[in-house]
Structure 1
Amino acid sequence: MNMIVGEASYPNLKSYWGQNALGPIQTCMTRSRFEAIKKYFSLRDERERIKKGEPGYDPLFRTRKLVDCLNKRFDSVPKYARLCVDEQMCSTKIKHHLRQYMPNKPLKWGIKLFVLCDSFGYAYRFEIYSGAGDTVVLPGHPDLGASANIVVRLTQTVETFKNHIIYFDNFYTSLPLMVYLRAKGIYSLGTVRGNRIPNDKLPNDIAIDITNVLWKDSKPVRFLFTYVGVKQFQRTTPREGTAKAARFGRKAKRHISIDCPQIVHEYNAHMGGVDLIISEQKHGMLQHEFFIT
């Protein structure tokens, strides 16, 4: 019933039993019974909860097993070669300290998620952002920093040495992360902030090629990558011409195609998977509530 409520957007909960009631909801049970079950429903034994301030405290205690179960099911689907990691806002009206406002996102209010998905918008794994103190490091893996560790956790089930490619933006990109992924046979491509490069040093005992390209468009954008460059890939039947990017021309007063490095074309083509999920949410298809409290 919660899933149907998420798919069919009504003004409030009472509307599903009101004058224009939704048939599957109304005939299943009364509103009072639904609200009673929802009030006392719990996914965990509260006696197992560790109090705040004590070692092992989990702010997502009530939903942790549900998230793990969903990730296991999502992750059972074979992965495409090209994957991306990005943030997603899950729209919700609940009152909770994890709900936040991000003005640059299409969905500005909600719970922030970190998502691993493919270029078509299918999510294989996700994490719920639980605050600045979330610095979990997987056992047996290096500590690469808070943002890079998110990529490490989300890609832990990506097969090694199978020519997978991971795309991410400058929030996650660092040289140690790209070295770590390349050592596992996973290629990567991401934008990077210039001030992150001088502070990072490649390990001396690992010889891995990492290249960077600075492309000056409306503003300078720097890319780090381990599998693609300025030129196109060599193919048995090569494509003619240079990679193109669509930009608005002030003189022509319309969108025009301009030459761009192949790396820019690759990034733009495969980094938008999470935006496809957001697009569906914005049209009311995935308005699910998170019962976190």
Structure 2
Amino acid sequence: MMIEYFGRHGCKQFIRGKPIHFGYKIWSLASSSGFVHQMEPYVGSHTHLVETGLGQGPSVVLGLAEKAEVPPGVKFYHDNLFTTLSLVDEMTLRGYGSCGTMRQTQLHNVPFTAPQTFKKTPRGDAEYLVEAEKLIVRWNDNSVVTVVSNMEREFTETEAKRWNKQKRTMDKVRQPKCIQDYNTHMGGVDLHDQFVSRYRVNIRSKKWWWPCFSWALNSAMVNSWCYYRSWKSGEKDLLSFQRLVAQTLLLRHGTKPSRQGRRSSMAVAITDATRFDNLNHWPCNTGSRYKRCKNCGGRTSFACGKCDVPLHVECFKKYHTE
């Protein structure tokens, strides 16, 4: 995830193709519902959450799993920035399920067809390799996709719908099951980031710590809402939930101001008995430059001589008579 920042700072990063291009990068571990379990800031290429000797990508996944105290048996889905064959092997040793897309540079000696050649095959074609406890699959979709998983020992296929430009209809194409599972469960971090961006704190500051602080508040609010949805089956949307939390905090911890500000003549409550008693109600000059007429809202320098209600002279009779 990215925390938007407008000033200068040594940890400020740039990511192409993301909604937020400049800001602080955050490594995050989130469930498919958008609940973030663990996060760590990225401060450069030397950032390693744990020393594994497997590189930065695997150290991020393993480090977040350790700090979040994830028990064995949990399934992890990660994109090609983190996925390597050595990571999947290490996750297997630790008892975790692991599935992720891979870059061509991480395949090493896997005997797959070159991506440019494989892209010319019919849409839906796939090739696979079972190695040790890993299943490595390459599939031709809009582009060539490579996925590695330790949660399947056999290659199986399902069906997926894709748009056919020539026929202008939806066609059914063959899709590997591991890729279908990846598409189903991947995206929890992006979902959390989307929820945070909906009603984020919009106060801008060049203090380097302020975006991190405001983002932490927004992230905690989204986490609370995700937990509330799982408990109450989604009775409130995010905006209503934030309003409820704000009102509850004000009622519990809020205090009335020690003194009132300047009293406004428009805020004075005038009873009908005083307004319509027909005694000593005369327009008079207030001495101030402008006030707002109680009747029509226009600017005036006159008010009632008895109840001090600001009024235009032409509005005076209408306001003080039934």
TM score, norm. by length of structure 1: 0.57
Choose from 59, 62, 70 the match for 1:152.
Answer: 62
The structural deviation recorded for 1:195 is 2.5
Pair 102,252 (structure 1): closer, same or farther in 2 beyond 3 Å: same
CA displacement 1:80-104 (0-9 Å, x = unmatched): xxxxxxxx11223343222222221
Choose from 118, 136, 149 the match for 2:31.
Answer: 118
Name 1:260's counterpart in structure 2. 175
* CA distance in structure 2 between the aligned counterparts of 1:223 and 1:129, rounded to whole angstroms: 26
Aligned identity (percent) is 25
Structure number with greater CO (CA < 8 Å, separation at least 6) is 1
* CA distance in structure 1 between the aligned counterparts of 2:48 and 2:87, rounded to whole angstroms: 15
Choose from 158, 171, 178 the match for 2:88.
Answer: 178
CA displacement 1:249-274 (0-9 Å, x = unmatched): 21233555433111111011111111
* CA distance in structure 2 between the aligned counterparts of 1:185 and 1:280, rounded to whole angstroms: 31
Choose from 211, 216, 225 the match for 1:289.
Answer: 211
Name 1:90's counterpart in structure 2. 3
* CA distance in structure 1 between the aligned counterparts of 2:43 and 2:172, rounded to whole angstroms: 42
Name 1:37's counterpart in structure 2. none
* CA distance in structure 2 between the aligned counterparts of 1:144 and 1:127, rounded to whole angstroms: 19
Query: Helix, strand or coil for the counterpart of 1:290?
Result: helix
The structural deviation recorded for 1:199 is 6.5
Query: Helix, strand or coil for the counterpart of 1:275?
Result: helix
Name 2:75's counterpart in structure 1. 165
Query: Helix, strand or coil for the counterpart of 2:212?
Result: coil
Aligned length: 185
* CA distance in structure 2 between the aligned counterparts of 1:291 and 1:278, rounded to whole angstroms: 15
**Aligned-pair RMSD on alpha carbons?**
2.6
Q: Are 2:98 and 1:188 aligned?
A: yes
Pair 261,244 (structure 1): closer, same or farther in 2 beyond 3 Å: same
Return the structure number with greater helix share. 2
* CA distance in structure 2 between the aligned counterparts of 1:191 and 1:109, rounded to whole angstroms: 25
Choose from 188, 193, 216 the match for 2:140.
Answer: 216
Query: Helix, strand or coil for the counterpart of 2:61?
Result: helix
* CA distance in structure 1 between the aligned counterparts of 2:20 and 2:159, rounded to whole angstroms: 30
Name 2:305's counterpart in structure 1. none
The one-letter amino acid paired with 2:96 is I
Question: Conserved in 1, the CA contact under 8 Å of 2:49 and 2:64?
Answer: no
Question: Conserved in 2, the CA contact under 8 Å of 1:107 and 1:278?
Answer: no
Moved over 4 A (4+): 254-257
Pair 282,189 (structure 1): closer, same or farther in 2 beyond 3 Å: same
The structural deviation recorded for 1:285 is 3.4
The structural deviation recorded for 1:111 is 1.0
The one-letter amino acid paired with 1:131 is G
Name 1:245's counterpart in structure 2. 160
CA displacement 1:154-213 (0-9 Å, x = unmatched): 01144443x21111111111111111111111010011123212279xxxxxx9511100
The one-letter amino acid paired with 2:65 is T
Where do 5+ consecutive residues of structure 1 fail to align?
Answer: 1-87, 201-206, 232-241
Name 1:9's counterpart in structure 2. none
* CA distance in structure 2 between the aligned counterparts of 1:280 and 1:254, rounded to whole angstroms: 33
CA displacement 1:117-164 (0-9 Å, x = unmatched): 0000110001111012223434xxx32111111111101144443x21
User: Which has the larger Rg?
Assistant: 2
Pair 158,199 (structure 1): closer, same or farther in 2 beyond 3 Å: farther
